[in-house]
Structure 1
Amino acid sequence: MSLTSEDNKIRIELSVNEAMALGLGVRYAADSSVATNARKKVNEALEAALFQIQPRQPQLHYELIEA
């Protein structure tokens, strides 16, 4: 997976079976986890890309804390 900030694209390496399961909705009776694994790869890549661009940092508002 790679992300370029100029064009905001991610690249994910999928097998042919995974690409067919995602793109065409092909179901594999012998291995029903193909589509699940492909979606997991896409979700992980998106999550990594989004956190890389906009990291979440919890903010603590000290003025709201009562002593």
Structure 2
Amino acid sequence: DAQFSLSASYLEIYNEGVFDLLTPRAAGGEGLAGGRAVNAAKDLPLKWDAQQGFHVPGLKLVQCPQISKMIEV
């Protein structure tokens, strides 16, 4: 029996900045997933190491119990 877990994140790279599209906007709302928006979202660092490869510390990760739930993210 194999076990696995699904998770999803959503980021945008724009003007050399990395932005978490699942983080709520500073003025409220449900995040940026509806499209690019000007807000106070902070630029996240893009890092690399031999164990994880490229990764973005602080990027919101949403656990998805089923593949169909990933579409809702």
What TM-score, normalized by structure 1, do the two folds share? Answer: 0.21
Q: Which protein has the larger Cα radius of gyration, Structure 1 or Structure 2? A: 1
Which structure has greater strand proportion? 2
Which structure has greater helix proportion? 1
What TM-score, normalized by structure 2, do the two folds share? Answer: 0.21
